[in-house]
Chain A
Amino acid sequence: AQKVTQAQTEISVVEKEDVTLDCVYETRDTTYYLFWYKQPPSGELVFLIRRNSFDEQNEISGRYSWNFQKSTSSFNFTITASQVVDSAVYFCALSGRDRDDKIIFGKGTRLHILP
């Protein structure tokens, strides 16, 4: 069975600090996809990244970076120099490779960036 665990329920940091959101997953598939989504107060989930299990290179996009480690089944997300606008709930998710595979979401981490 597939499972995504986000152990951090809620995190608060002061603006400009760096913060890392943890994500640990379980799957028996050898090929799978990992995702991060952001849910601001407005409610809609915003896609941040999709990573194929064969691509273990870390990714950086502006202040956002992702560390994928297959050996520890983790896909952590770091925000550098956090800003108040980063306050949101962040979800890590997992899907199999087949086109009709559903996406399994973690419970989410609520991030508060304090001014």
Chain B
Amino acid sequence: KAGVTQTPRYLIKTRGQQVTLSCSPISGHRSVSWYQQTPGQGLQFLFEYFSETQRNKGNFPGRFSGRQFSNSRSEMNVSTLELGDSALYLCASSQRFMNTEAFFGQGTRLTVV
């Protein structure tokens, strides 16, 4: 079956702009989580959605938001981009809970200039 698909793979944006990233989980998976990966901070948890509800949230400013649709696809949005938002954004899906086996997408590489 198809894996986790993230689009786009690469993105260049200017400071102050906003961006929307998309994640299609594995068919049948209802939990989708988002992570930010940077060389300095490593992998940091952004949020998790389950059945269209945000179930958990990391320590990120309100500029970072997300949502999940009825088909389990998820989007995350970052408004008023800052240079420090440059990172690899990874999406993971699991059948029910994130602390089981999770499957990750290849990520979206966001560069803010």
Q: Which residue of A lies closest to B41 (CB)?
A: A107
Separation of A70 and B100 alpha carbons in the complex (Å): 20
Q: Say whether B32 faces chain A, with CB atoms less than 8 Å apart.
A: no
Please give the distance in Å from A7's CB to the nearest CB on chain B: 14
Q: How far is the CA of A37 from the CA of B56 in the complex (A)?
A: 21
A96/B99 in contact, CB under 8 A: yes
Interface of chain A residues 5 through 56 with chain B (CB within 8 A): 33, 37, 42-47, 50
Could you say which residues of chain A place their CB within 8 Å of the CB of B100? 50
A99-B107 in contact (CB<8A): no
Known contacts A33-B99, A99-B99, A102-B56, A45 near B104 by CB under 8 Å:
yes
Known: A42-B106, A43-B107, A47-B103. A102 touches B58 (CB 8 A): yes
Give the B-binding residues of A (Cβ under 8 A): 33, 37, 42-47, 50, 91, 95-97, 99-108
| Closest partner residue, chain A, to B100 (CB atom) | A50
Known contacts A47-B102, A100-B97, A106-B42; can you find 15 more A-B pairs with CB under 8 A? A44-B4, A44-B106, A44-B107, A50-B100, A99-B99, A100-B56, A102-B45, A102-B58, A102-B98, A103-B33, A103-B45, A103-B98, A104-B45, A105-B42, A108-B43
Interface segment among B13-21, B78-86, B88-96: the answer is B88-96
The number of chain B residues touching the other chain, given as a range, is 20 to 34
Residues of A within 8 A of B88 (CB): 43
CB distance from B50 to the nearest CB of A (A): 8
15 A/B residue pairs, CB under 8 Å, sorted by A: A33-B99, A43-B106, A44-B107, A47-B102, A47-B103, A95-B98, A99-B99, A100-B55, A100-B56, A100-B97, A101-B56, A102-B99, A103-B33, A103-B98, A105-B42
Distance in angstroms from B2 CB to nearest chain A CB is 13
Residues on the B chain within 8 Å of A97, using CB? 99
Cβ-defined contact, B90 with A45, below 8 A: yes
Residue B48, interface by CB 8 Å: yes
Once the chains are docked, how many angstroms separate the CA of A102 from the CA of B33?
Answer: 9
**Does B105 sit within 8 A of A, measured CB to CB?**
yes
Residues of chain A within 8 A of B33, CB atoms compared: 102-103
